[in-house]
Amino acid sequence: MTAERNTDRVVIVGAGLAALSAALDLAPRPVLVISPESLGEGASSVWAQGGVAAAVGATDSPADHAADTMRAGAGTVDAAIARLVTAAAPEHIAVLAELGVPFDRDAAGGFVMSREAAHGRPRVVRVKGDQAGAEIMHALIRAVRAAPSVQVAEGVMATDLVVDQGRVAGVRLVRSGAPSGAVSVRAAAVLLAAGGSGGLFAVTTNPPRVRGQAVGMAARAGAQVADAEFVQFHPTAIDVGQDPAPLATEALRGEGAVLLNSEGTRFMTAVHPDAELAPRDIVARAIFAEHRAGRRPVLDTRAVLGAALLERFPAVAAACREAGIDPVTQPIPVVPAAHYHMGGVATSDRGRASLPGLWVVGEAASTGLHGANRLASNGLLEALVFARRASDDIAADLGPAPASAVPPVDLTFPATGGVTPDPVLITRLRRVMSAEVGVLRNGPGLRRALAEIADIETAAGDCPQLTNMTAAATLIAAAALARRESRGGHARTDHPDPDPAQARRSLLTLTEALEIRARACEEMPA
């Protein structure tokens, strides 16, 4: 059963940094923010440890930041987008500081900055060592709670986009976590900012709800998806069997922490000239190789940080303490984990998707900034920059804000109807994604993955929440099968080298991905 609602509010799907920034940027235009949980819970932004990359140092420049972004992106970064985003970074740091974000400062009042992988110099502005995401979100939540133009619907999630004559006209909503009837909200515009796809994998640093639903929902409605094959695996998730895996921030390696295997060998020096600060994809594959060889790798912070880690990196210290590890006296076991999806809904430089009426920002979008391998701490920056650009574009598209007050949307849900995803099917999906679409891939494994995803989708029946997940998984695996080379976050053992002819972004619709999936199923041995 579906109830119908109409509103002049802009509907923002998501409650992370991109979504809340956009809600504030659109003020005083009325908006409705859709949050599956209470604000501040379940968003990847809250978990971000590193900080925001920005050229705010005296010896740094946006041009250098853009150059590092393009080098890390392995040949597929949109250079114009890289220049646009890095040029805007210092202003966004200033805005966050005005909102009350307590960035780390030195005695002279300047920003304390970390150097992370593939950055030519320290330029990651941080908060309390490893608390950037949480502290930025706390400031945004305070501002959103105080904004009279923002209605927040907590415990609510979107399952479908409403499309009318080829234009996105609203969203279909249900209660989170329990079967309920749906409410279809027709809105002035829809901004999708509901996170990435890392939770589609069995080993991930992402919150449990972040499983590709935003990308899948947009793709099911007909939106074009870009760079779906490029998934970033963070090299140093803490290897203690937790789901999600806690993270040992890259800033630890920026401080000089080293990677050792179980034989005590520092293995990264033989892999890359930048050793532990090589691009994330290279470090992740090296750690994966040590695991596969039975030499369980660890991150050793003892010599460079010692007891200072406990105060300077409290999130890492807390995760180690919970796992029974004393990082002052013990090295930290690490494993690569799905962390960030460079791919997503293809957008313009104003956040517009290929479907009219739909804007997409944050990790659900693919702007061209990250290419095949995201530069560390560019994710939060991209969310801030494109939240504003999309908000400005929505405002220009809609014209003047309503002159009279816009009432809140009635989100009284019908008591009957709706289904929740089968956790057994979700576990199957995550296992096959890690096994066959993970750090290393090959053609036969990707075909097996596509066949398994098809079986899971059939078993899911009429459950749009799960179908959104299988759509995103299909796009990732199909794009990975189509790209017959290795580049950035996409590594194929049967095509181990980069191919200069394929140094371009990929574009795929769900219809095209399903055709690839169908062929893969036909090619499976009987």
Catalytic residues: 280
Please state, in angstroms and rounded to a whole number, the distance separating the CA atoms of residues 454 and 195.
Answer: 23
CA distances 394 to 90, 168, 195, 212, 352, Å, are 24, 13, 20, 24, 9
CA triplet 277, 91, 98: central angle to 5 degrees?
105
**Which residues lie closer than 8 Å to 404 by C-beta, 6 or more apart?**
none
Contact 360, 344 (CB under 8 A): yes
| 3 state SS of 187 | coil
Contact 223, 358 (CB under 8 A): yes
Residue 98: both structure tokens together: 């005005």
Pairing mode of beta strands 2-6, 182-186: parallel
Contact 55, 65 (CB under 8 A): yes
Residue 43: both structure tokens together: 């968003």
| 3 state SS of 365 | strand
Residue 452: both structure tokens together: 């398994």
3-class SS string, 314-351: HHHHHHHHHCCCCCCCCCEEEEEEEEEECCEEECCCCC
HSE, CB side, 13 Å, CA atoms: give it for residue 502: 18
Alpha helices in 416-502 (DSSP H): 423-436, 443-460, 464-482
Cβ neighbour number for residue 412 with a 10 Å cutoff: 9
State phi, psi for 140 to the nearest 5 degrees.
Answer: -65, -40
